[in-house]
Structure 1
Amino acid sequence: FALDGIRLSKQLTPFEALNGKTQKYVALSVSSKPNESSAKDYYVKTISSESHLRYYNWVENNRLKVEKATNGRVGYIHIPDMSMEGLNEFVKYFYPQVRKEALIVDDRYNGGGNVSPMIIERLRRILLVAKNSRNQEEVMTNPDAVMTGPIVCLLNEISASDGDLFPYQFKKAGIGTLIGKRSWGGVIGIRGSLPFLDGSYLYKPEFANFGADGTWVLEGVGMQPDIEVDNHPAKEYKGEDEQLNKAIEVILEQIKTNTKPQIPKVPPFPDKSK
């Protein structure tokens, strides 16, 4: 109805009225009728970009799709990069879903960073010991937070830098199946220099990666998936994610033949009187 006391109209849209008001509190007058008498005022703080909201919506839609298609048996995680944000997203989604029967890890559009070894370490854990505490029904595991089911990894041509190295390590560690498109293929790292007077920067190659066999890996080549699936642009625009669909199909089949050690029930307590 109105924004900061200025009535909106065909000539003054909400988008125009919000110009110059980024990260500021604004007064929104809202009414179900075209008059001021029933209007209510709400004070909200604006944001500078919708990107985080759109990203959250995309991830949640994917997670809910996986949940619905698998009757809640399979978890879904997307890792946007291999830095602070990516690690936060992993922690936020991994631990609440670690007791599911299987897991889909989505590395698509990953912008890189340097935390992939931390994530790989958690995904490759195998149950070694189970434990139980007094007055506690839940069985704990050692190591902590163990995924006892199959894991698949989605990747695409925009999985870059440490987002390249992640599926490479995922495969080398024998964690699971790679699905999607060949990754970006850029794993030579850079560091910035002092800025130039005109505000520009010079980046130069500083470090590269090679495999345990002593051969250079990934640069200019990328990581090839086990199962290649391309998302058709028209179908993707309509909301059909063929790569995610394939991941769901594969993971449900892998659950049937899963051989990982499972979390056991608490055994009968020993009789120490004998």
Structure 2
Amino acid sequence: GRNELKLMDLKTFDSKTLVTDEFWAFQNSAPSFSPNDEYVLFTVYRNFEQDLVVHNIKGNKTINLTNTGVTETGPAWSPDGKYIFFTSARTKPSYPTGMNSAHIYRMALNNYDEPYRSDKFDDLFKETKPAEVKPVVVITKDKNGKADTTKKKMEVKPTPKPANVITINTQDILDRIELVGPSFGGQYGTDVFAKGDKTYVFYASNHEGGASGLYRTTLEPFEVNKTEKVADGGDYNIVQAGDKFFVLSRGVINKYTLEANKLDKIDHGYKFTRNLNAEFNQMFYETWVGLDENFYDEKFHGVDWDKMRTRYAAYLPYVNNRSDLRILLNDMLGELNSSHMGFNSSGAEEKKNLTYTTNETGIIFDNENPLKVERIAAKSNAARTGTNILPGDMLTAVNGIKVDEKIDRDYYFSKPSLDKEMTLTFDRKGKEVFVNIHPESSGALRGNLYDEWITNNHKNVDKWGNNRIAYSYMKNMGGSELEVFLLDMVAQEENKDAIILDLRYNTGGNVHDDVLKFLSQRPYLQWKYRGGKLAPQSNFGPAAKPIVLLINEQSLSDAEMTAAGFKQLKLGKIIGTETYRWIIFTSAKGLVDGSSYRLPSWGCYTMDGKNLESEGVKPDIFVKNTFEDRLADKDPQLEKAVAEILKDLK
């Protein structure tokens, strides 16, 4: 549950609470019993990071094993009860960007010594009565159907039994953590089994070429750890049933031979009747419960969530198809008036057999004369070297088909898919010109026009600011745009006296921490080679310069987190209009048919407790760009940013 770990008696189904803590209702680690059933191992959240915790059932005592400020997750006991295996990035918090380059580790619960070869040597020559090995009777049938019994002896190498008492020595326990498996790439998920004196650790990893796979590392006394690939694909489940192992990988159930590291597919089938009415009902209530457990605001934005369930459940008997269910659930979710919300579903029955797309070229046609070339969009396919298209050219044919000026121009460019290439015919002052061009999507053309606007902003900042101001624009707060920002800073920051970071129209993402850390850097010392020039450390010191952050009513999600942090850290002035008020950290949960619903589960608040979802971020200097400004190619917000910086530089 959200905040309780309970122990249930499977005979009576009675339960009692073992621990009350912050567990979260999802994205948590499954608890597990110690090999001797004395402890329960689980994780709890501390400042958004998971700690490894054990609880002694009989003594009712809870011990936090890590308490580090970073995440340790996916814990698993070693079969002998001496170690705990887990996944962690060790020095990097998992929030807000997730655990990148995590690895598998082993924690010793006591200060165990390594085994001695001399002990193993002595065991080889110890005179002991050999254990009786009972023969195994294998019953088969011959061709005549008669039973054939054959006694076969099996060599048995006993697996060490877990200790009756598990000792947990917390003194210097973090010093007893060691890496298991690869140190390259990322690993996650931990399953541990033992056979004989070997311990097998299973996990997903992408250390070989970047593709995820199921791997195992074998630990054996006096041997180097051995890592082997088990199967392709990192999404797996492995279970032990007696002395047999089974692996589910990529939707296929396999029998797994531990010693040979071999998977054998199990062919199976099962016929059933699918009851869509019951399925849709299950999906409806499961979605409601997911929000009931995980919606970030315990007051549900003032909505009676129980009442909403009753109100919308009344329509379930009239749901006939997936589209009806999608409308019903999205209407119910919409009652919360929350961002980052929605129910997504699609199926084969909704697949479109025919779609159309516009083959864009990068040619911008005249608004008054739709066949006349006004200009070529920068960076578009039409702008490439060798493409002979000029302003004023008149389009007369597309792929040899004459263009009728009475028909919508896009009719000639609309196809079920993008062409590999097209031939356009133009009239250029009475001369016929043929041009071959590679079409591009409408999305690519929008990107070309977006980039033109950004480039024009760069030029205006250079012109208005006398080349003294660095300018960087981020379309979103994703990894690729973080790279753009950092490259802009590498190219400009050292040679400029001030910075403008433009987050207008930014659609969010999750890199606010990286951006703010960069902007917070200040020089703290200087160094130089003998006879050379003094140079600052760190290499970049933007916080020592005037900085302006531009925002507007379409700056949303992580752009708002960035703006709020920028203001709290007092990094500079914020100019523009109030942000969109659309910021909740979100996840999603899947349903039985592959549908999913979003879970806005983590609210974002200022240091004085204001909810950014309802408050947004207000600028220090309010400047509004109007529609008329856009038509006149004016940008009062950017002009004000430059003016404020020049004032500070004086």
**Count of equivalent residues:** 251
Aligned to 1:249: 643
Q: For residues 12-161 of structure 1, what are the structure 2 equivalents within 5 Å?
A: 14-20=409-415, 22=418, 24-30=420-426, 32-36=428-432, 39-49=433-443, 50-98=445-493, 99-132=495-528, 140-147=535-542, 148-161=544-557
- Listed as ranges, the gaps of 5+ residues in structure 2 are 1-395
Q: Does 1:238 align with 2:609?
A: no
Shift of 1:122: 1.0
Which 5+ residue runs of structure 1 have no aligned equivalent?
257-274
Q: 1:41 to 1:139 in 2, by over 3 A?
A: farther
Q: Does 1:162 align with 2:558?
A: yes
- Distance in 2, matches of 1:157 and 1:35, equals 49
TM-score normalised to structure 1 length: 0.80
Aligned to 1:270: none
- After superposition, what is the alpha-carbon deviation per residue over 1:218-237, rounded to whole angstroms, capped at 9, x for unaligned? 23001121111222332233
For 1:267, the equivalent position in structure 2 comes to none
Tell me whether 1:177 sits opposite 2:573 in the alignment.
Answer: yes
Alpha carbons of structure 1 residues 146 and 152: separation in structure 2 relative to 1, 3 Å: same
Question: Quick one: distance in 2 between partners of 1:41 and 1:138?
Answer: 55
Structure 1 CA distance for aligned equivalents of residues 427 and 438 of structure 2? 16
Query: Structure 1 residues 126 and 4, CA, compared in 2 at 3 Å: closer, same or farther?
Result: same
The aligned amino acid for 2:522 is I
Q: Name which one, 1 or 2, has greater alpha-carbon Rg.
A: 2
Preserved contact between residue 155 and residue 180 of structure 1 (Cα < 8 Å): yes
CA displacement, residues 153-211 of structure 1 (integer Å, 9 cap, x when unaligned):
111122111111111111111210111112122332221232686x9642222112234
C-alpha contact 2:399 2:422 (8 A) present in aligned 1: yes
Query: Could you tell me how far 1:33 is from its partner in structure 2?
Result: 4.5
Separation of aligned partners in 2, 1:139 and 1:67: 28
TM-aligned CA deviation for residue 216 of structure 1 = 4.5
Query: Following TM superposition, by how much is the alpha carbon of 1:140 offset from its aligned partner in structure 2, in angstroms?
Result: 4.9
Answer yes or no: is the 8 Å Cα contact 1:82–1:114 preserved in 2. Answer: yes
Q: Distance between the aligned counterparts of 2:410 and 2:640, measured in 1?
A: 40
Alpha carbons of structure 1 residues 146 and 3: separation in structure 2 relative to 1, 3 Å: farther
Native 8 Å contact 2:586 2:598 kept in 1: yes
Distance across 2 between alignment mates of 1:15 and 1:132 = 62
Distance of 1:31 and 1:139 partners within structure 2: 62
Instruction: Measure how far apart 1:247 and its partner are.
Output: 0.8
How do 1:2-13 and structure 2 match up within 5 A?
Answer: 2-11=397-406
Evaluate the alpha carbon distance shift between residue 12 and residue 123 of structure 1 in structure 2; reply closer, same or farther with a 3 A threshold.
same
Matched residue SS, 1:192: strand
* CA shift for structure 1 position 44: 2.1
Please tell me the residue identity of whatever aligns with 1:44.
Answer: H
Amino acid at match of 2:613: E
Aligned partners of 1:23, 1:87: CA distance in 2, in Å? 33
Q: Which among 207, 218, 228 is matched to residue 612 of structure 2?
A: 218
Q: Which structure shows the bigger proportion of residues in strand conformation?
A: 2
Other structure's SS at 1:203 match? strand
Identity between Structure 1 and Structure 2 (%): 27
**More helix by proportion, 1 or 2?**
1
Deviates more, 1:25-34 or 1:153-162: 25-34
Amino acid at match of 1:252: L
Contact 2:549 2:572 survives alignment (8 Å):
yes
